[in-house]
Amino acid sequence: MTAFSLKNGTLHAENVALASIAERFGTPCYVYSRAALEASLDEFLAELQGIDALVCYAVKANSNLGILNLFARRGAGFDIVSGGELQRALAAGADPQKIVFSGVGKTADEMRLALNTGILCFNVESAPELDRLNEVAGSIGKKASISLRVNPNVDAKTHPYISTGLKENKFGVAYEDALALYRHAAALPNIAISGIDCHIGSQLLDPAPFAEALDKILLLVDQLAAEGIQLHHIDLGGGLGIRYSDETAPTVKSYLGPLLAKLAGRKLKIVLEPGRRLVGNAGLLLTKVEYLKPGEVKNFAIVDAAMNDLARPALYDAWHDILPVAPHTGAEQSWEIVGPVCESGDFLGHGRSLALQPGDLLAIMSAGAYGMAMSSNYNTRPRAAEVLVDGNQVHLVRRRETVEQLLAQDAMLP
């Protein structure tokens, strides 16, 4: 998929020059490619053809309504983790029966909203959450469909902040406790057991841990069946990694193939919750060089995007490719690509070899996932605009915030 490529010496999103986007919408600006978004969803759908399966896009990766709507139109479901995400999914045209609700801290209000909406399933993460859900459902005359998110205790071999399937993580129900909690669930009047769920971490580049987790989950499925608790679906979570620099990301086929083989012959609907894989490489962050500040020890290129726009480098030391929009022929130097925020951790890339001039445009690549979604207003910086490119067309899918909007939320003492 060549969503972003050089044409006539300048970087384009599909058929649109990034320079023209900067001119029209300003910088910093997130730019997404419709073709790339659809191609990544298609990669999943192709493997799942003829199989009873549902791809529930993890809204947290990028919750822009334009993107959610694109996926909803293609039949995708959604994995949500808050009432806010539920409202976004519904506003984008989601089918409630294709929504699963994950997260360790669902409030009673969020539960009521989801029950009244009629979502497919709650992925329950603890015993007290199960009891609360039973109570809330009873109070409004509903029955809640549930999976238990079981923690299979496998090592996802990814960054510790985004590894979630180990015992020491706050997520899910301990493997050893799962059977007992299912028995408890079966006895609750307002709970309907529907499935089982696990999510072991994010940005996984080795498919083996997924298969290891599935083996453990299937053991539980069989133990439950022996006790007369029949499950209808199995949710394998998200986590499939993407290429940021020179990693080899597994194909969807090599990830799903072994899992589908293990599930063949079982009457279990398959639910998946991919986030990053669907949007990560379908987006970039367009920014402009404000100042060059060469120094004795380091050369700083100060750009107009910052850690509030893209937190991943500051937060995880994550590496994003940084490409010049219009490459020069001049001599390259090593640059620290940094933002204007008042923190030394405010960097987008260290030691990048680039030929730079003030005013140059740069593209921070692979920024479609956990980019805008994790942005903030730190330093009273209005959030960036977002555009979705479709062939020759550019659609503004989120207006740039204004300082007036930010100030309007505050109040002073009378």
What are the residues binding ligand LLP (CB under 6 A)? 58, 61, 79, 102, 162, 199, 202-203, 237-240, 273-277, 312, 370
The single residue of 29, 56, 198, 342 carrying the catalytic annotation is 342
Closest distance to ligand LLP from the beta carbon of 327 (Å): 28
Q: Based on CB atoms, which residue is closest to ligand LLP, 135 or 155? A: 155
**What is the Cα–Cα distance from 354 to 300, expressed in whole angstroms?**
12
d(CA 72, CA 157) in angstroms, rounded, equals: 32
Strand partners, 6: 11
Contacts of 121 by beta carbon, 8 Å cutoff, 6+ apart:
100, 101, 145, 146, 147, 194, 195, 197, 233, 235, 271
Q: The tokens of 6 are what?
A: 């050089």
Q: How far is CA 134 from CA 49, 85, 197, 206, 281, in A?
A: 35, 22, 19, 38, 40
Q: Of 91, 99, 89, 133, nearest to 119 (Cα)?
A: 99
Count how many Cα atoms sit within 13 Å of the Cα of residue 152 in the half-sphere of its side chain.
25
Q: Report the Cα 193 to chain-centroid distance in Å.
A: 27
**Nearer of residues 61 and 365 to ligand LLP, judged by Cβ:** 61
For ligand LLP, give the closer residue by CB, 66 or 275.
Answer: 275
User: Residue 29 catalytic?
Assistant: no
Choice between 210 and 370, CB closer to ligand LLP? 370
Nearer to ligand LLP, 1 or 6 (CB): 1
Residues with Cβ within 8 Å of 228's Cβ and at least 6 positions away in sequence, in order, are: none
C-beta of 287: minimal distance to ligand LLP in Å?
Answer: 18
In this structure, is the dihedral angle defined by the CA atoms of residues 250, 251, 256 and 262, taken in order, positive or negative? negative
Closest contact distance (angstroms) between CB of 246 and ligand LLP is 18
Q: Shortest Cβ distance from residue 124 to ligand LLP (Å)?
A: 12
Please report how close the Cβ of residue 273 comes to ligand LLP at its closest, in angstroms.
4
The Cα–Cα gap between 346 and 232 comes to 47
Catalytic residues: 342
